[in-house]
Each structure stands twice: as C-alpha cells, then as structure tokens.
Amino acid sequence: MCTSNRILSLGLALAFGAWAQSSTDQNRATDQQQQEYEHQDHKHEPGAAREMGAGAGTAAVGPVKGAGDAAKGTAKGAGDLVTLHPIDAGTSVLKGAGSAGKDVTVGAVKGTGKVTRGIGRAFKKLF
C-alpha cells in the first residue's frame, strides 16, 4: 500500500505542477495581448497640414476620374454610332457623363471634408 500511495502522490504532484505552469503561461500571454491592445488604441493621427493636403489631393482626383469616365463613355458612344447602333451610342455617352458627374461630386465632397477637418484641427491647436 505504501508504494501505491507514493505513486499516487507523485502523480498528483506532477499534475499540479504542470497545471500551475500552464496557467502562468496563459497569464503572461494575456498580459502581452493586453499591452499590444493598449498600444493599438493610441494611433498617431495626421496633423492639420497633412489633412488639408490630403483633402486637396482627394478633391483633385475626382475631376480626373470624371474626365476618364466621360472619355470612356464618349469613345464607346462613338464606336456604337459608327457601327450603326444609335441607341447604344446615346446610352454610352449618358452613362459616361453620369459617372463623370458622380466622380467629380464624390471627390469634391471628400476633399472638402478633409480640408475642413484639417482647418478644425488647426483652430483646435490655437485654442
């Protein structure tokens, strides 16, 4: 009986030792994950000048995309007109014009929003 008690005690000691080590490793992993999460929360935001510059760039992209869509629609419409498909030609030209208007509007609104946000940050630093 004495031998079986020793084996049982040794088995329990090994099991508790392994269990205790695994829980500390999990706590360390949790602490590391918590620290990484805290570092991610503090992102560096761009300054006011960069925000306004990005807004100007975004506002300039809209007309460029719009001109591309207008040219694409006009070219497709010309091709349809040459191949004697006048209805498709009109549809292509109008579709290109619609896409151009959408791109110009979206670019202008996004750019204006970024510039406004940059101006707001500049005033926030002053006051």
C-alpha 25/C-alpha 32 separation (Å) is 11
DSSP code of 42?
A: S
What are the start-end ranges of the E strands in 1-127? Answer: none
pLDDT at residue 24, rounded to an integer = 47
Amino acid in the structure at residue 33: Q
CB 105 within 8 A of CB 59: no
C-alpha 42/C-alpha 29 separation (Å) is 21
C-alpha 17/C-alpha 117 separation (Å) is 58
pLDDT tens string, the chain, 127 residues long: the values are: 566 666 666 665 656 565 555 544 455 556 666 666 555 555 667 788 888 888 888 888 888 888 988 999 999 999 998 898 989 999 999 999 999 999 899 988 988 988 898 888 888 888 7
Pick the closest to residue 91 from 82, 101, 104, 78 (CA basis). 78
